Amino acid sequence: MEIIIIFISLIIVSAICFFIKYRGTIEVCSILSSGVALVGSIIVAIKVAEIGSYTRYGIFYVDALGAITMLIIGLIGFVTTIYSIQYLHQETTKNIIGFHRVKQFFTLLNIFLLAMFLAITASSPIFAWISIEATTLSTAFLISFYNKPSAIEGAWKYLIINSIGLILGFFGTLLYFTSVSSSNTELINWQLLADKAVHLDPMLAKIAFVFILIGYGTKIGLVPMHTWKPDAYSKAPAPLGALLSGALLPVAFTIVMKFKIITDIAVGDLFSKNLLIVFGILSIGIATLIMFNARNYKRLLAYSSIENAGLITLGFGLGGFGVFAATFHLIFHSCIKAILFFSSGNLLLKYNSSKINRIKGALSVVPFTSILFIIGFLILTGMPPFGIFFSKMLILSVGIKTNPIVTILVIIFTTIVFVGFLKHVTKMFFGKKTDDVTVGEVSDWLLFSPTLLLVIVFCLSFYLPSFLSKLINMVSLTY
């Protein structure tokens, strides 16, 4: 019932945003729908922690990783909606956008949230694929939101690359279905595929998983399918960046992991683990090297997402405690990346530029935003005592036993990330401000969402609610 309520509220509010002409109504309804989605996600997560999985009407199925991802979508969706209201108000004041764009934004935002929830709760892999494709379609116009040539270019690149990736993912999905008899009339679901996986031709399973990893890996942004990410993130409105990095990445990742279970039954876990390690280290390495010379802070955050996606993939590839650490990392990365995207949105509103060399002395201009960004950077790069420090340490300690060379490379890359990020942060936040910028935050309301997330991150670093702890343990046992 909870899932149905989430869907109905998001569908109704999408329609309201499309048809109603009162901005206040659109904003209040959007907050309500994302709030309902958050509460619904928490209820589902608690139920999954209690009984192991959540199944309804034969078409919805949520396991432990799915429940964690639902929590992430719910939380990031809720804070993004709150942040977007004030962010779009500021853009309207500056005459960057009009009311028509605001309507478009909230309509598509709610559809995007709906598509992500559908993808993660669908019991059928094909329905999950349809929903993931729907996330591409709903966000394409959000990336081209400002209707500038560069935004259109970024959106086009996003549309084409993701569509190709997802079509290949569809091909991979179809190949898994060969294990199920053609006379089967039931809806093919994750459970049935896992049950029949022993009948899957091992070579076929390997080919299928490669296509899945390429297909959904495009959505995750794993190297070398990452090329759309910096362009899309840098051209999209800042709140969308938070959702793309914080919520969509875990959704696509969860689906890959569901296919991993099936593949592991058919061919053993070594094949998928090795592939995940290769894609993980490649993503960490390439993103790190580009981050060092980034010139645009939104692109910097996009490359950071690729690097962290690589770390999560590596953690799952290492297995055992690595999975535990990667799940932990998945949660923290989503929250921190949203904080960084919200702070970058504040900087963009203040300086009207996303170029790093145009942001000077931000600490004295927008002190709260700057502190949020700097804390976000410190947490993201693994500064103790926050959660990401522990997740990185765990991944590395597991890796050093099983894959020492890969782990040493990761240590080198993460050090470069810290130095590179620090270089950009120093340039942007310290030093003397330029004369053309007035001192003061753009709006105090723009600080609410990132501060709320920071409090959550702080709390989760020292105390995990029992249901969340149970879910993470269940994920490590399953994957």
Partner 1 sequence: MNSFYTQILLTLFFVSIVFLHIVKKNITTVILYSLQSLAIVLLLVNSFLETGKNSLLFVACLVLVVKVILAPAFFINSINKFKLKFLVTTYVNTPLTLISVTILTAFAHSKLFISLAHIIPINEHLLYLALSAIFISLFLIVNCKVALSQIIAVLSLENSIVAFGFFAGLEQSPILQIGIVFDIFVWIIIATVFISMIQKHFGSLDVTEMKYLKD
Question: Shortest gap between Cβ of 168 and partner 1 (angstroms)?
Answer: 8
Point out which span in 20-28, 168-176, 256-264, 370-378 binds partner 1 (CB under 8 A).
168-176
The helix (H) or strand (E) run that includes residue 62 is strand 60-62
Point out which span in 41-49, 137-145, 265-273, 471-479 binds partner 1 (CB under 8 A).
137-145
Point out which span in 40-48, 93-101, 178-186, 367-375 binds partner 1 (CB under 8 A).
178-186
Point out which span in 76-84, 144-152, 395-403, 460-468 binds partner 1 (CB under 8 A).
144-152
Binding partner 1 by CB under 8 A: which of 7, 18, 146, 156? 156
Query: Does residue 160 interact with partner 1 by CB under 8 A?
Result: yes
Q: How many CB atoms lie within 10 A of CB 389?
A: 17
Binding partner 1 by CB under 8 A: which of 124, 245, 334, 476? 124
Distance CA(441)–CA(439), nearest Å, equals 7
Q: How many residues contact partner 1, by CB under 8 A?
A: 45
Contact 384, 394 (CB under 8 A): no
Contact 77, 113 (CB under 8 A): yes
Distance CA(253)–CA(65), nearest Å, equals 10
**Residue 404: CB partners within 8 Å, gap ≥ 6?**
none
Binding partner 1 by CB under 8 A: which of 17, 38, 159, 223? 159
Binding partner 1 by CB under 8 A: which of 104, 178, 402, 478? 178
Query: Does residue 441 interact with partner 1 by CB under 8 A?
Result: no
Closest C-alpha among 376, 345, 350, 353 to residue 362: 350
Query: Does residue 348 interact with partner 1 by CB under 8 A?
Result: no
Question: Strand 54-56 vs strand 60-62: parallel, antiparallel, or unpaired?
Answer: antiparallel
* Residues between 295 and 334 that touch partner 1 (CB under 8 A): 295-296, 299
Binding partner 1 by CB under 8 A: which of 39, 43, 152, 400? 152
Question: Shortest gap between Cβ of 144 and partner 1 (angstroms)?
Answer: 7
* Residues between 12 and 41 that touch partner 1 (CB under 8 A): none
Question: Shortest gap between Cβ of 15 and partner 1 (angstroms)?
Answer: 17
Point out which span in 20-28, 98-106, 145-153, 444-452 binds partner 1 (CB under 8 A).
145-153
Contact 177, 189 (CB under 8 A): no
Q: List the end-to-end C-alpha distance of the chain, in Å, as a whole number.
A: 27
Instruction: Please report the DSSP string for 23-61 in residue order.
Output: HHHHHHHHHHHHHHHHHHHHHHHHHHHHHS-EEETTTEE
Question: Shortest gap between Cβ of 409 and partner 1 (angstroms)?
Answer: 29
The helix (H) or strand (E) run that includes residue 398 is helix 387-402
**Residue 105: CB partners within 8 Å, gap ≥ 6?**
84, 88, 142, 145, 237
* Residues between 216 and 235 that touch partner 1 (CB under 8 A): 231, 235
As to burial, measured by CB atoms within 10 angstroms (0-12 exposed, 13-18 middle, 19+ buried), residue 106 is buried
Using CB under 8 A, list all residues that contact partner 1: 124, 126-127, 130, 133-134, 137, 140-141, 144, 147-150, 152-157, 159-160, 163-164, 167, 170-171, 174-175, 177-178, 182, 185, 187-188, 201, 203-204, 207, 231, 235, 295-296, 299, 355
